Amino acid sequence: MWGRYNKPTGGVRLKQTSLFVLLVFALGPIAAAQDTNGLRTGMSRAEVIAVEGQPTGSFLRQDGEILLFEKGSVTLRNGKVTAIELMTPEQYEKQKKLREEARLRQEAATHLALPLPGVLGQVGGKVRSNPSPKAMDMDKGFSLASFANHPLFAKDGPSKDDVFQGGGGDCYFLSALAALAEANPGFIRNTVMDLSDGTYVVRFFRQNGEKTYVRVTAELWVDNSGAPTYARLGRQGCIWAPIIEKAFAICRRRKASYGSIVGGNGREDNDLIWKLTYIKIDEAGVNPDDVISWLNSGAPEGHMKDTIRARAQTFLGQVNAQRQLGKGMVLGAPPGFSNKTPLVPSSAGFEKSTYRRGKHVYTVDHVKVDAKGDFTGIVLRNPGGRYVTITDYARIFFCIISAATVEPQAD
């Protein structure tokens, strides 16, 4: 409910506090905009409502009435409009973000305060933070350190360049997290929130649409230098990525262990934050052993070269189309993927083969396009933070298992 000022005996009293009014004061004076959305001075109250719909709030003052709408306010004196003030787009977006954060904070607090089975971080009806997940067995001797004095986000919000994989084998998770941060930073803001009491809440989804909230502290495992062992700190020392990873280590298999998040392709975890839609390279009619023989013979012109180029360009075109739509994407390929990655057949075994092996997951940065409009390569971001450009069609065709769009679960 929006607040309304009334004038009772003895002075003016605010019956209910309006978030909109508070935000107006927080944002400063609302700037007058040239575009008044069909409003004009001299209109009656009924005419204003016919144009804008019912106001979200209103209050009276001695010299007139203020009608509040989603994007601004209208002042009426003697029943006629005397002033129209609309927010700038920047002010409106800031207000929307504050309102959404307030809504999510209330939603999270409500869930955490109730004895719900979907809430991790609660025992006997009492809200508490989860204990830190166990370190991996190989990381014995590491210690916990608090990063509560670090910002949750950098000043300009979440970015893919805040995500750096540490010693955990969760490239599938962190690369998708980076892709989502680039494509939909607002969703990341709504996924993790500072509760202002030394704890953070992270929201996950289940396949049935149920939301699970995991409450954690800012304690992270660190090595002897004091640096986080698993997901590293982001720009300006921000901690949103390691906090989300910590919550994931608690709820993925409900084992509260960083060892429980080692290995995966994202499919089994589709319901936790995002959904993946896959794009694969057409391999029909092409024997991988023949590709190796062709490359070893100097990659001569002919049918094999034309086929590999055409299949690779088709794949790159499909990836580019999704990136142009603003969708975040990930891609599976061998570790250390480059234009010199050796082509090793499946017969060499899983560990050695580089044929359609998604043993490492990268974030797709962009597809390279030349002046003719041909797709000439792809730029990937390793979750360790390094960018690599792949322009060799043979490696693109042979080594990449698939790419996938990363889209947030519906709120």
The reply to whether 119 and 268 lie within a common domain is yes
Its domain, for residue 371, covers 276-408
Tens digits of per-residue pLDDT, 231-257? 999 999 999 999 999 988 888 877 778
In a domain, 99, yes or no: no
The reply to whether 262 and 124 lie within a common domain is yes
Tens digits of per-residue pLDDT, 23-56? 333 333 333 333 466 888 899 988 888 888 888 7
We report the CATH number of the domain holding residue 11 as 3.30.1450
What's the mean pLDDT when you consider all of the chain?
A: 81
The reply to whether 267 and 284 lie within a common domain is no
pLDDT at residue number 13 = 33
DSSP H helical ranges for 297-389: 303-324
The reply to whether 168 and 224 lie within a common domain is yes
The reply to whether 122 and 251 lie within a common domain is yes
The reply to whether 143 and 234 lie within a common domain is yes
The reply to whether 123 and 259 lie within a common domain is yes
The reply to whether 232 and 324 lie within a common domain is no
The reply to whether 256 and 327 lie within a common domain is no
In a domain, 93, yes or no: no
Q: Which of 245, 272, 299 is at the close of a domain?
A: 272
pLDDT at residue number 111 = 52
The reply to whether 264 and 123 lie within a common domain is yes
Query: How far, in Å, CA of 147 to CA of 144, rounded?
Result: 10
Lowest-pLDDT choice from 96-100, 239-243, 332-336: 96-100
Lowest-pLDDT choice from 10-24, 68-82, 287-301: 10-24
In a domain, 98, yes or no: no
The reply to whether 210 and 357 lie within a common domain is no
Q: Which of 249, 272, 295 is at the close of a domain?
A: 272
Predicted model pTM: 0.72
Number of domains present in the structure of the chain: 3
Among 324, 338, 318, smallest CA distance to 404 is for 318
Q: Which of 220, 248, 272 is at the close of a domain?
A: 272
Residue 61 backbone class (left: φ over 0; alpha: ψ -120 to 50; beta: rest):
beta
Residue type, 75: T
In a domain, 105, yes or no: no
In a domain, 104, yes or no: no
Query: How far, in Å, CA of 24 to CA of 57, rounded?
Result: 13
Query: How far, in Å, CA of 278 to CA of 402, rounded?
Result: 7
The reply to whether 254 and 139 lie within a common domain is yes
Please report the beta strands in 155-287, taking only residues with DSSP state E, as ranges in sequence order.
192-194, 199-205, 211-217, 219-222, 274-279
